[in-house]
Structure 1
Amino acid sequence: MTNGTEDLDHLIALMAKLPGLGPRSARRAVLHLIKKRSLVLLPLADAMHRVGATVRECLNCGNICTSDICDICQSEKRANGQIAVVEDVADLWAMERAKVFQGRYHVLGGTLSALDAIGPEELRIPQLMDRVKTEEVTEVIIALGATIDGQTTAHYIADQLPTVQVTSLAQGVPVGGELDYLDDGTITAALNARKAL
């Protein structure tokens, strides 16, 4: 771009870092935002500022919320003894969208990976073990993707919890699949047909 557009160039460069957007898509998005300045750009900037100032991780489960403990963890209705272990907040949101799971969650923040030097301490596995000890947990549902790292993580967690029923999602989750990309019906079928690890 020409001189005097440093702010626009910076905005386009930032937008290009978003998943699914490259430089050309980012330029189109920025042009759209500018054309719809009062309807989209200014409200979006305001919302992003508020979210940036208030959003944090739930101290209990790792979900994203605006308080120290998220609504799911605070809900007594969700304290049914089940914890679904997910890799990422997007997976938690996918399961919530399906509206079939009524327990609580635990977000690991990734999966074990010897190649990337990601061990249990780099994830939220120790916090999960603490929750199982302190909350009245009767079942831990491993809701990780059907990848090698996901399965390795699932078996590691199951080995650490010999006194609790550990199950995993069953049919409908393809090998190499990630929860965030699955439709609600597939997630429902997988949750309902979970099996012991």
Structure 2
Amino acid sequence: MARQPETQDHPYGQSVSRLIDEFGKLPGIGRKTAERLANHILNVSTAEATALADAIRDVKAAVRRCSICFNLTEEPVCRMCRDPRRDQHAVCVVEQPRDVVALESSGVWGGMYHVLGGRIAPLEGIGPEDLTIHQLVHRIRKQGITEVVMATNPTLEGDGTALFITNLLQNDPVRITRLARGIASGSVLEFANREMLADALRGRQKF
């Protein structure tokens, strides 16, 4: 009788098939790339593979949301919210933590941040209650914020989210600006270069 294969999913076995499936869940990773990554893990030393697994485990255990701005941090309050040199009365509103990294790289913004955790997207089932909009409004009113820079991505959903927040704050004594349209409509902050982001921050306009 012919020997049956270990698994129908992958000739190397079920564990490799599972690893490929997990890699395939990562954004931008297709089946072929997932297989290459799995083969790379199989070819490196046990120490290297374990180091990767430990790094993933540690980052999930250590990283949390800042209790003030909702950026990623390993402390209850992030480094920027703790920095007394930053302008405490100006807040730049972004969609994701990676947008904070992109804007910080411009070296222009010296105020605070607020991470929404996404954008309003009704077709995807994401409403205002799924974001940190309520916390933003409360923060603005409690801390005496005088300027809010809308740095949501220049997409239909990003602009809609900025407009929704602006309407909530229309009766508050706060100046609302947005990034200059040096960033092309439909683009994403994460992929804008340093010069574009610096120009956008310097040329921010009233929303």
Q: Quick check: TM above 0.5?
A: yes
- The CA deviation string for residues 5-36 of structure 1, in whole angstroms up to 9 with x for no partner, is 22221111111111121111011112223322
In structure 2, C-alpha distance between the alignment counterparts of 1:94 and 1:177, rounded to whole Å? 13
Matched position secondary structure for 2:85: helix
In structure 1, runs of 5+ residues without a counterpart are none
In structure 2, C-alpha distance between the alignment counterparts of 1:38 and 1:136, rounded to whole Å? 53
Alignment match of 1:136 (pick from 141, 144, 151): 144
Matched, 1:84 2:114: no
Residue aligning to 1:29 = 37
**Contact 1:172/1:189 (<8 A) preserved:** yes
In structure 2, C-alpha distance between the alignment counterparts of 1:49 and 1:81, rounded to whole Å? 37
**Contact 1:172/1:190 (<8 A) preserved:** yes
Range with bigger deviation, 161-170 or 5-14 = 5-14
Residue aligning to 1:2 = 11
Larger radius of gyration: 2
**Contact 1:15/1:26 (<8 A) preserved:** yes
Residue aligning to 1:70 = 78
Question: Compared with structure 1, are the counterparts of its residues 97 and 39 closer, same or farther at alpha carbon in structure 2 (3 Å cutoff)?
Answer: farther
Matched position secondary structure for 2:160: helix
Alignment: residue pair count: 196
Matched, 1:123 2:131: yes
Matched position secondary structure for 2:88: coil
Residue aligning to 2:66 = 58
Alignment match of 2:22 (pick from 5, 8, 14): 14
Normalised by the length of structure 1, the TM-score is 0.92
Question: Compared with structure 1, are the counterparts of its residues 24 and 52 closer, same or farther at alpha carbon in structure 2 (3 Å cutoff)?
Answer: same
Alignment match of 1:171 (pick from 158, 181, 188): 181
- Amino acid in the other structure paired with 1:9: S
- After TM superposition, which residue ranges in structure 1, 4 or more long, deviate above 6 angstroms? none
Residue aligning to 1:48 = 56
In structure 2, C-alpha distance between the alignment counterparts of 1:37 and 1:9, rounded to whole Å? 19
In structure 2, runs of 5+ residues without a counterpart are 1-9
Normalised by the length of structure 2, the TM-score is 0.88
Residue aligning to 1:184 = 194
Residue aligning to 1:157 = 165
- Amino acid in the other structure paired with 1:161: L
- Amino acid in the other structure paired with 2:21: A
Q: CA deviation at 1:126?
A: 0.4
